[in-house]
């Protein structure tokens, strides 16, 4: 198994009852104006650092956390319970609601440590569901919400349609095995070619350094319990991002979700040439640009 050296950041730990949660922070560049605090929320099949702080030789700015930190953002992420370095001892499947509880504990820790009271959230795939549910429960802690590869009811999602064929197995077990072939399948299932081989290999190395199995809870929720969030109760500025070829996020499903969001400071962006794992795609710089634009957009002066 390869060993990954994570550098340039600070590790932190907080508690959720008897559960230890790992947090990773990259501080804002002090030589540029402070731009806010971003909390990155990972998905179903990988921990936080491989997703948001990945280093790939020959691929500049491969770490989303570092790219945003360089531009004045204090950047944070965490391993949800059952993932990466966080606790895995409880007999649970780490579902989406439990992930939202993790975010409540993580943001409370950061607030106590730094005084930050509001966060810009970015969630990918089931991480978007965790972030959305957290925003629904704690709107006072969210200044802006970014939902990438999101799914609301599951309508039109061919990936979830295929995944439901194994639902009975996922329900029986709290964890499912993963390997390098599984990581490769994330990039092959929708539209092969949207990510380069070196990035996929580095991503797999980073994931498998930390885990050889993943919780089943988010799979069970996404295959059998949608919707798990109510858009009419997510009253914060929100951007919904969808990769052109994403098999999780049905376009019509997302548009209906978007229409029901009550906060009028909202945007919808379709990202050309991207399938599912946005930050590991060839067009990753485009994703950074869209997020940076939304996170730095001035608040409206006139409000009707």
For the stretch 281-302, pLDDT in tens is 999 999 999 999 999 999 999 9
Q: pLDDT band at residue 303, thresholds of 50, 70 and 90?
A: confident
CB 42 within 8 A of CB 130: no
What per-residue confidence (pLDDT) applies to 2? 47
pLDDT at 119 over 70: yes
In this prediction the pTM is 0.97
304 is a domain residue: no
Residue 46 included in any domain: yes
Beta bridge partners of 243: 271
pLDDT per residue over 214-246, tens digit each?
Answer: 999 999 999 999 999 999 999 999 999 999 999
Report if residue 50 sits inside a domain: yes
SS (H, E, C) the chain: CCCCCCCCCEEEEEEECCEEEEEEEECCCCCCCCCEEEEEECCCCCCHHHHHCCCCCCCCCCCHHHHHHHCCEEEEEECCCCCCCCCCCCCCCCCHHHHHHHHHHHHHHHHHHHCCCCEEEEEECHHHHHHHHHHHHCHHHEEEEEEECCCCCCCCCHHHHHHHHHHHHHHHCCEEECCHHHHHHHHHCCCCCCCCHHHHHHHHHHHHHHCCEEECHHHHHHHHCCCCCCHHHCCCCEEEEEECCCCCCCHHHHHHHHHHCCCCCEEEEEECCCCCCHHHCCCHHHHHHHHHHHHHCCCCCCCC
Pairing of strands 142-148, 238-243: parallel
Burial category of 58 from C-beta neighbours within 10 Å (exposed 0-12, middle 13-18, buried 19 and up)? exposed
Residue 189: pLDDT above 60?
yes
Residue 266 lies in a domain: yes
The residue segments making up the domain with residue 279 are 10-296
- Give the residue among 5, 74, 3 at the shortest CA–CA distance from 40: 74
Alpha-carbon distance of 304 to 298, in angstroms, equals: 16
Can you read off the two tokens belonging to residue 108? 């409370």
Residue 122 lies in a domain: yes
pLDDT tens digits, one per residue of 29-60: 999 999 999 999 999 999 999 999 999 999 99
In a domain, 147, yes or no: yes
| Residue 224 in domain | yes
pLDDT at 1: 40
What is the rounded average pLDDT of the residues 18-31?
98
Residues sharing a CB contact under 8 Å with residue 137, sequence separation 6 or more, in sequence order: 100, 104
CB 14 within 8 A of CB 23: yes
Residue 259 pLDDT level (bands cut at 50, 70, 90): very high
Number of structural domains found in the chain: 1
Residue 5 lies in a domain: no
- Give the tens place of pLDDT for each residue, 190-222: 999 999 999 999 999 999 999 999 999 999 999
CATH number of the domain that 222 lies in? 3.40.50.1820
pLDDT at 304: 81
pLDDT band, residue 5 (cuts 50/70/90): low
């Amino acid at each position: 198994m390869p060993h990954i050296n994570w550098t340039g950041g600070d590790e932190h730990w907080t508690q959720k009852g008897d559960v230890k949660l790992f947090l990773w922070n990259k501080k804002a560049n002090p030589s540029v104006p402070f731009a806010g605090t971003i909390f990155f929320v990972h998905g179903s099949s990988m921990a936080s650092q491989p997703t948001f702080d990945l280093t790939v030789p020959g691929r500049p700015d491969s770490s989303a956390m570092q790219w945003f930190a360089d531009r004045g953002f204090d950047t944070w992420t965490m391993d949800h319970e059952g993932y990466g370095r966080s606790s895995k001892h409880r007999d649970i499947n780490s579902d989406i609601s439990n992930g939202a509880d993790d975010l409540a504990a993580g943001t409370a820790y950061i607030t106590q440590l730094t005084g930050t009271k509001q966060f810009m959230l970015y969630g990918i795939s089931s991480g978007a569901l965790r972030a959305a549910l957290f925003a629904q429960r704690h709107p006072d802690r969210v200044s802006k919400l970014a939902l990438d590869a999101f799914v609301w009811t599951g309508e039109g999602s061919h990936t979830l349609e295929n995944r439901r064929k194994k639902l009975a197995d996922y329900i029986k077990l709290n964890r499912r095995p993963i390997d390098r072939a599984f990581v490769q399948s994330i990039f092959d299932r929708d539209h092969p070619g949207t990510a380069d081989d070196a990035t996929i290999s580095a991503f797999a190395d980073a994931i498998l350094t930390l885990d050889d199995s993943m919780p089943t809870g988010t799979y069970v929720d996404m295959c059998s319990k949608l919707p798990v969030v109510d858009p009419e109760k997510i009253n914060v500025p929100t951007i919904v991002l969808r990769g052109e070829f994403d098999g999780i996020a049905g376009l019509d499903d997302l548009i209906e979700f978007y229409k029901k969001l009550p906060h009028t400071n909202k945007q919808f962006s379709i990202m050309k040439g991207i399938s599912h794992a946005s930050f590991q795609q060839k067009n990753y710089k485009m994703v950074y640009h869209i997020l940076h634009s939304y996170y730095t957009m001035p608040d409206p002066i006139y409000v009707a």
